[in-house]
Amino acid sequence: MLQRTIFAALLAAVAALGVYWWLSAPVVAAIGTGPAHVPNPANGEVIFNAGGCASCHAVPDQPDRLRLGGGVAIKSPFGTFYAPNISSDPTDGIGKWSEAEFVNAVMHGVSPGGQHYFPAFPYTSYQHARREDVLDLFAYLKTLPAVSGKVRDHDVGFPFNIRRNVGIWKFLFMDGKPFVADSTKSPQFNRGAYLVNSFGHCAECHSPRNPLGGIISSERFAGGPNPEGEGWVPNITQKRLGEWSVKDFSYFLKTGELPDGDSVGGAMTRVIKNISQLPEADLAAMADYLKSLPPVDGPARPTRKEGGA
């Protein structure tokens, strides 16, 4: 009887390991079966600015936002991640990458070596991008200066440092669905929806997350604790910004100035520096979409303690 119990336990363990190995395997998309695409670096620059790539990947403490040697520290409840070098440097950056490798990194979170990237890289939003735009972004990045230097390793403890586990996280929180335009809405609205939900990845910061770090879909865009550990990320639905007009949203994206005359601060300063480079039509489109977000209560913000620790 004991032998049967042990044998059954071993079979269950092997089966569980097999399921884990299957679910956690990196999944990549085959490139080359789609239609041929002639990359457009000019559109790639628009995508670069919409995605705020320089916010994380520009070398810290220097003025040139196009020196993409990485190194920015991204704090999270799971540890500190360091944005990698994505310059055209062939050794330390992405200069030797193929188009397929770049698409799989951006849209599927898989490295050229076949490992999962940690979701501090917001591929959960980038998965909704159009392949053609990703290829255009790649073409644009190759026009930027090569920056030498490897970025330090992430400071993430066990078990969160096991990349294979990220496959389970992706299974839980990535749907793999492309962006689908709403046929009842205008082209401008759909353009804004596309930019906000794909490259703009606005929900990645402006949504609360569950204990595993997945966005709580019912409270998307409703703000919450700053994942970097300091302060509170605001609710950007009509629950909080109901008095903002479309023009207010557009002006904010262009200048970082609020309707009451105050200015944005913190990490959003870097975001505005990138988004403000977008064409006026794209800013208007994003504003149109953001104004449409229905009111969502979101998590309760903790009250500050008065007078003392």
Position 199 scores a pLDDT of: 96
- DSSP assignment letter at 66: T
| Helix orientation angle between 246-255 and 280-291, rounded to the nearest 10 degrees | 130
- Checking if the pLDDT of 306 tops 60, the result is no
| Phi, psi (rounded to 5 degrees) for 207 | -130, 145
Position 7 scores a pLDDT of: 52
Position 309 scores a pLDDT of: 36
Position 308 scores a pLDDT of: 41
**72-101 pLDDT, tens digit each:** 999 999 999 999 999 999 999 999 999 999
* Greatest CA separation for the chain: 77
Using pLDDT thresholds of 50, 70 and 90, give the confidence band for residue 112.
Answer: very high
Q: Which of 4-18, 27-41, 151-165, 286-300 has the lowest mean pLDDT?
A: 4-18
Q: What global pTM score does this model have? A: 0.89
Tell me the three state secondary structure of residue 257.
strand
Residues 134 and 103: their CA atoms lie apart, in Å, by 6
Position 139 scores a pLDDT of: 97
Position 204 scores a pLDDT of: 93
CA atoms within 13 A on the CB side of 125: 23
- Checking if the pLDDT of 251 tops 90, the result is yes
User: For the residues 133-155, what does the mean pLDDT come to?
Assistant: 95
CA atoms within 13 A on the CB side of 258: 12
- Checking if the pLDDT of 110 tops 90, the result is yes
Using pLDDT thresholds of 50, 70 and 90, give the confidence band for residue 307.
Answer: very low
- Checking if the pLDDT of 16 tops 50, the result is yes
Position 292 scores a pLDDT of: 96
Cα end-to-end distance, the chain, whole Å = 60
Using pLDDT thresholds of 50, 70 and 90, give the confidence band for residue 4.
Answer: low
On whether the CB atoms of residues 277 and 186 are closer than 8 A, the answer is no
Residues 240 and 243: their CA atoms lie apart, in Å, by 8
Using pLDDT thresholds of 50, 70 and 90, give the confidence band for residue 261.
Answer: confident
- DSSP assignment letter at 72: -
Parse the chain into domains and list their residue ranges: 24-178
Q: Which of 138-142, 149-153, 193-197 has the lowest mean pLDDT?
A: 149-153
Please spell the DSSP secondary structure of 108-126, one letter per residue. H-B-TTS-BPPTTS-HHHH
- In the numeric block, which tokens belong to residue 175? 């749907």
Query: What does pLDDT average to over the chain?
Result: 88
- Checking if the pLDDT of 38 tops 60, the result is yes
Position 126 scores a pLDDT of: 96
